[in-house]
């Protein structure tokens, strides 16, 4: 099923297209990991998953359109009238769109790592939500424990979106 990437759309399921993601990642050190996934259907799944993980965070402001499905575009407290952001030529709007597309690209590659099963890098293991690793062989044993909070966003994705970062959501049941 094709991606629906209308920014602020009522049925959008990704912020970035396959072409936009491939073009952006071609300029980064992560291009080899993205190119290793040759199936476009799998790439679309990665982009949808990346979008969901980004949208799962708590962001400052509110959704710009009342009927938009995804969390971006966002409104922020601004001296500009609300209608100012509607113009695609507006610098703030274009910056938001560029940053969210880049964040999705970084997060999509991060999803490849998260699903690879390779946890030899302790930082990657921590981001995957692994709380402790025990390695033993013969008489040598080692153990590493992490905090109980795993950041599900790639550091570069989080950096692109830090302007809209809110506090953690608290769920009470």
pTM for this entry? 0.75
User: In the chain, which residues have pLDDT < 70?
Assistant: 76-89, 115-151, 167-173
pLDDT given for residue 1 in this prediction: 77
Task: Quick: pLDDT tens for 37-60.
Answer: 999 999 999 999 999 999 998 888
H or E stretch at 142: strand 140-145
Longest alpha-carbon distance in the chain: 68
- Signed CA dihedral, 25, 7, 114, 116: sign only: negative
SS3 163: helix
């Amino acid at each position: 099923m094709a991606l629906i990437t209308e920014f602020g759309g009522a049925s959008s399921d990704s912020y970035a297209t396959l072409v936009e993601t491939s073009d952006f990642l071609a300029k980064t050190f992560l291009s080899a990991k993205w190119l290793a996934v040759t199936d476009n259907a799998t790439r679309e799944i990665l982009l949808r998953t990346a979008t969901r993980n980004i949208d799962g965070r708590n962001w400052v402001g509110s959704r710009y359109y009342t009927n938009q499905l995804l969390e971006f575009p966002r409104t922020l407290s601004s001296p500009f009238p609300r209608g100012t952001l509607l113009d695609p030529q507006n610098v703030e709007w274009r910056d938001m769109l560029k940053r969210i597309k880049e964040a999705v690209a970084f997060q999509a590659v991060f999803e490849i790592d998260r699903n690879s099963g390779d946890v030899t890098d302790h930082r990657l293991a921590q981001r995957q939500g692994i709380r402790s690793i025990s390695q033993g062989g013969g008489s040598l044993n080692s153990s590493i424990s992490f905090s109980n909070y795993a950041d599900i966003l790639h550091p570069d994705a989080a950096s692109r979106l830090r302007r809209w970062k809110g506090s953690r959501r608290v769920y009470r049941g």
